[in-house]
Amino acid sequence: MTNPTNKVNFITRILISCSGASFELLKNCPRFEITKYTSIGMTIVFTAILAVVSSFFALSIVFDSLPLNISLAFLWGAIIFNLDRYIISSMRSSNNKWNDLVKAIPRFIIAIIIALIISKPMEIQIFKTEINSYLKIENTNLISDVDKKYSNLLEDNTIKKNNTEQQYSQLLLIREQYYQEYKCECDGTCGTKKRGRGIECFSKKEKYETFQEELRTEKSKRDAALTKLADDEALIRTQMQAEKQMLKASLSYGLMDQIRALNRLDSSSSLFIVLMFVMIEIAPILTKIMSSKGPYENLILEYEKKFEVNYLKALDNLDHERVKNKKLKEMSTRFEIKSKEKQIQDIVKQDAYDRYEKIRTDLENKISKN
């Protein structure tokens, strides 16, 4: 019988429906039972709202379309709402709490997975500044790695330039030495100490002039080598700038990048948010487990037993009808067989009578002729 004190408003009806409970049964329960399931329904609604907000933040990172993000966010929220509602409505309380706890373990696992999925986008939004700073530092390090890679090539190029210049400078020193020996010999200040253009003077002059010609050839080689090294340096710098530009263009703050950055930040704050979402998600399950077996649970069991009894009665009636129909079918079959037998007997009798009449007629004909 309906409890007259259990008059509820429209919002309470909606929350009871969100909890997965039957309002028709709760009308017959005490007021505290309605309050309990209203609270469970409100928790499920809040979880669905958080799922909508969280998925909207996540989708905003992936898609640029606001209508699409809103539509998909509400779709995800509806999925989470329906799943939570099913988890709570499928639970049954009993007098054995340990048994209820063991039965609820799969539901706890599902609830924790849902909480982890919902919490990640919210964490990303909360720690957005820290994540962006981390990604910018990471991108700067990547560009710095490019600089280090090409700096080695530029350093090798500079070393080759310096070596080429040093080799040429040494040749210039040798030329200067040959020139001083030549001038000194011709002036008579060294060597043979004979002033004038003697054999030694001409020999050292020839040696100096020959080396001067070789030096011109070496200068051409040096200039060609320096030109090539300058071209190589320009090419290296061009490649370095191109790789930097390509790296900057390819760098993006996608969802997976932000999740990866979030996992590398300080985990204590992130863990607190995850635990908060887990607690919100498992709160209805804990409420069901910690609550004693109430009137609503008893009414459910009563209606389930009534349904089972009616179902068994229907099965018995169905079996009775099936047996009755079977017997009627057997009787009909026997009657049909007897009817067929009688028809066959009548046919046999008629055939024997016809043969008898024919034989009798033939005999009478023979007797009349004689």
Average pLDDT, integer, range 8-37? 84
- Give per-residue pLDDT as tens, 202-254: 777 777 778 778 878 888 888 888 888 888 888 878 887 777 777 666 565 66
Q: Which two tokens stand for residue 205?
A: 């002059």
Which stretch of 210-219, 237-246, 262-271, 309-318 has the lowest confidence by average pLDDT?
262-271
What is the torsional sign of CA 82, 83, 87, 88? Answer: negative
Q: Which two tokens stand for residue 213?
A: 């010609």
Average pLDDT, integer, range 326-333? 79
Q: Which two tokens stand for residue 148?
A: 């280090």
Nearest residue to 57 (alpha-carbon basis) of 76, 41, 40, 38: 76
The answer, yes or no, to whether residue 5 has pLDDT greater than 60, is no
Q: Which two tokens stand for residue 291?
A: 């609550």
- In this structure, which amino acid lies at residue 20? G
Q: How confident is the model at residue 72, as a pLDDT?
A: 87
Q: Are 114 and 274 in contact (CB under 8 A)?
A: no
The answer, yes or no, to whether residue 138 has pLDDT greater than 80, is no
The secondary element (H helix, E strand) that includes residue 311 is helix 295-369
Q: How far apart are CA 193 and CA 187, in angstroms?
A: 8
- In this structure, which amino acid lies at residue 276? M
Q: 């990866």: which residue's tokens?
A: 260
Domain chopping of the chain, boundaries: 10-127+266-293, 132-256, 294-370
Q: Are 226 and 158 in contact (CB under 8 A)?
A: no
Range list of H helices, 188-253:
199-250
The DSSP secondary structure of 142-172, one letter per residue, reads HHHHHHHHHHHHHHHHHHHHHHHHHHHHHHH
Q: Is 188 left (phi over 0), alpha (psi -120 to 50) or beta?
A: left
pLDDT level of residue 319 (50, 70, 90 thresholds): confident
Q: Which two tokens stand for residue 222?
A: 């040096």
Per-residue CA distances from 331 to 318, 326, 335, 339 (Å): 20, 9, 6, 12
Angle made by CA atoms 9, 13, 18, in degrees to the nearest 5: 150
Residue 173 makes CB contacts below 8 A (sequence gap 6+) with: none
Q: How far apart are CA 44 and CA 40, in angstroms?
A: 6
Residue 34 makes CB contacts below 8 A (sequence gap 6+) with: 6, 8, 12, 16, 26
- Give per-residue pLDDT as tens, 160-182: 888 888 887 887 888 777 777 77
Q: How confident is the model at residue 284, as a pLDDT?
A: 74
Q: Which two tokens stand for residue 107?
A: 């539901």
Q: Which two tokens stand for residue 298?
A: 């008893």
Q: Which two tokens stand for residue 191?
A: 């060597």
The structure's pTM equals 0.50
Q: How confident is the model at residue 256, as a pLDDT?
A: 66
DSSP 197: S
- Return the exposure string of 71-88: e unless at least 16 CB atoms fall within 10 Å of the residue's CB, then b: ebbbebbeebbebbbebb
Per-residue CA distances from 224 to 161, 221, 259 (Å): 11, 5, 54
Secondary structure of residue 96 in the 3-state scheme = coil
- Give per-residue pLDDT as tens, 113-123: 877 777 777 77
Q: How confident is the model at residue 246, as a pLDDT?
A: 72
Q: What is the mean pLDDT of the chain?
A: 77
